[in-house]
Amino acid sequence: MKEIILAKFGEIVLKGLNRCSFEDALARNVRRRLKPLGRFDYWKAQSTLYIRPLDDETDFEEVMDRVRCIFGIVKIARAAEVEKDFEAIKQSAAEYLGDTLSTAKTFKVRSKRSDKSFGMNSPEICTLLGEYLIDKFPNLSVDVHNPEVTVNVEIREKAFIHAGAEDGAGGIPVGTSGRGMLLLSGGIDSPVAGVMMAKRGVVISAIHFESPPYTSERARLKVEKLASLMARYCGSVNFHCVPFTKIQEALRDNAPEELFTILMRRLMMEIAQRICEKENLSCLITGESLGQVASQTMDAVVCTDNACRIPVFRPLIGMDKSEIVAVARKIKTFETSIEPYEDCCTVFTPKHPKTRPNVTDVIAAQLAFDYEPMIAEAVENTRAYTINAK
Ligand code: ATP
Ligand code: MG
């Protein structure tokens, strides 16, 4: 018996004329993710992407794990593919779902017939298949309201049998909403922010600021690992590592202590957007959440934004930490994020940062020292490389 995966499209079915390009982007993303796992046949019909393995041995669990992370898919079912012949359907249902059916107490059959030329209608399929299964598995009785197992039969260009579809990642396909640069630290928040924007179709590049020797190589490796975990959802991440030590030392030596953090953030934004301009990315993305720390008060965010020429998206702005942590656990970045390595943001941080900075003072403090040569040098010495999903 052949096994197949049915991946049902989500919102993209609503996109009218763009529908084709959305579906193509989704199919492309699926192909790219599954390519290392073997050869597959793909085709689209009735808002579903069919994924059929062509090799004798396919690691279905791994395939499912990968498909679960692809945005644009709302439901995923692993199904048996059978000829459209009721005898074959009956036998295959008993065989394919035998393990569950032989231990369950209650079940029902649900049938969907997209091919109206099939000789039986849905109620007939349900009744006759139900009777056959009760005969075969005497432990079973029908419960239409709250069954332990639902046997699904979909009559399309073939018949597909499965025990129910699970939820997919939702969202819209990566590659359908432009490209953005995520400021990626080693913390909990920024990977979540990146994946949330990818969920709305944005291709994610990442930029990380490091300050050796104050920050270690292991701290950077941790951030690279976060990027590779994100890549399961975002696709490969174009990663940029900026040497930030000189700028931080200059800020320590020249900036008013209480404005250190806000000026540092403005310079991060400046460097990030210069790289965006070079690489034609249209926005910045951060993991900021309003009021979470001194640099994320409304006044601080206003001062940071004042240094930006392109839009800054902050998808976590209205989320509580506990809500962010829940997403971090779901996308499996949490355990890595809490590994205890230092971030450049914790280097030279003032004891009493200003929580209500004003733009005029901040600009004056920035102009009091010529940071430009260091900014240019940092941009020049930024290393860029691709990080793939593990
Ligand atoms: P996170 O959990 O994402 O580290 P945080 O709560 O620690 O966030 P901050 O340290 O104030 O918050 O940083 C706010 C945002 O600034 C981060 O979400 C991230 O987008 C960006 N950021 C902070 N440090 C760095 C860094 N070293 N490199 C790149 N971006 C950074
Ligand atoms: Mg941080």
240 lines ligand 1 (CB under 6 A): no
Residue 176's pLDDT is: 92
Ligand 1 pocket mutation, candidates 188, 189, 316, criterion most atoms within 8 A of CB: 189
291 vs 382, higher pLDDT: 382
Dihedral angle over CA of 246, 248, 253, 258, nearest 10:
170
Residue 294's pLDDT is: 78
Lowest mean pLDDT among 15-24, 269-278, 280-289: 15-24
Nearest ligand by distance to the CA of 185:
1
Structural domains in the chain plus CATH codes: 2-167 (3.30.2130.30), 179-387 (3.40.50.620)
Q: Which atom of ligand 1 lies closest to the CA of 295? A: 11
Residue 292's pLDDT is: 84
What angle is formed at CA 344 by the lines to CA 230 and CA 264, rounded to 5 degrees?
105
Any residues with CB less than 8 A from the CB of 166 and at least 6 apart, and which?
68, 75, 76, 77
* Interval 296-319 mean pLDDT: 96
Residue 122: band (very low, low, confident or very high) from pLDDT cuts 50, 70, 90: very high
* Nearest protein CA to atom 21 of ligand 1, as residue: 183
How many angstroms is it from 185 CA to the middle of ligand 2?
Answer: 5
* Nearest protein CA to atom 30 of ligand 1, as residue: 183
Q: Check pLDDT > 70 for residue 12.
A: no
* Interval 101-110 mean pLDDT: 96
189 lines ligand 1 (CB under 6 A): yes
286 lines ligand 1 (CB under 6 A): yes
What are the tens digits of pLDDT across the range 242-273?
Answer: 999 999 999 999 999 999 999 999 999 999 99
Chain centroid offset of residue 352 CA: 36
Residue 158's pLDDT is: 92
* Nearest protein CA to atom 14 of ligand 1, as residue: 288
DSSP 188-253: SHHHHHHHHHHHBTPEEEEEEEE-TTTS-HHHHHHHHHHHHHHHHHH-SEEEEEEE-HHHHHHHHH
What are the tens digits of pLDDT across the range 330-354?
Answer: 999 999 999 988 887 778 888 888 8
Q: Which atom of ligand 1 lies closest to the CA of 183? A: 30
Please state, in angstroms and rounded to a whole number, the distance separating the CA atoms of residues 134 and 107: 9
How many angstroms is it from 288 CA to the middle of ligand 2?
Answer: 9
Residue 13's pLDDT is: 59
What are the tens digits of pLDDT across the range 48-98?
Answer: 999 999 998 999 999 999 999 999 999 999 999 999 999 999 999 999 999
Ligand 1 pocket mutation, candidates 182, 185, 319, 320, criterion most atoms within 8 A of CB: 185
Nearest ligand by distance to the CA of 189:
1
Residue 14's pLDDT is: 61
* Nearest protein CA to atom 7 of ligand 1, as residue: 187
Query: What ranges in the chain are assigned the alpha helix state H?
Result: 19-34, 60-68, 86-96, 98-103, 122-136, 189-199, 217-234, 245-254, 260-279, 298-305, 321-330, 334-337, 359-367, 372-380
Q: What percent of the chain has pLDDT over 90?
A: 86
168 lines ligand 1 (CB under 6 A): no
DSSP 150-177: EEEEEESSSEEEES-PEEEEESB-TTSS
Closest CA to 322 of 233, 185, 189: 189
**Sign of the CA dihedral with 86 first, then 87, 91, and 92 last:** negative
* Interval 296-313 mean pLDDT: 95
How many angstroms is it from 189 CA to the middle of ligand 2?
Answer: 7
How many angstroms is it from 343 CA to the middle of ligand 2?
Answer: 7
241 lines ligand 1 (CB under 6 A): no
90 lines ligand 1 (CB under 6 A): no
Any residues with CB less than 8 A from the CB of 176 and at least 6 apart, and which?
12, 18, 21, 22, 25, 201
Residue 359's pLDDT is: 96
How many angstroms is it from 388 CA to the middle of ligand 2?
Answer: 23
287 lines ligand 1 (CB under 6 A): yes
**Please, are residues 293 and 321 in contact by the beta-carbon 8 Å criterion?**
no
Residue 129's pLDDT is: 96
Closest CA to 42 of 32, 33, 31: 31
Q: Which atom of ligand 1 lies closest to the CA of 316? A: 18
* Interval 285-307 mean pLDDT: 92
* Interval 194-218 mean pLDDT: 96
Please state, in angstroms and rounded to a whole number, the distance separating the CA atoms of residues 217 and 220: 5
**Sign of the CA dihedral with 224 first, then 230, 236, and 237 last:** negative
4 lines ligand 1 (CB under 6 A): no
Neighbours of ion ligand 2 (CB under 5 A): 185, 187, 343
* Mean per-residue pLDDT of the chain: 94
* Interval 289-309 mean pLDDT: 91
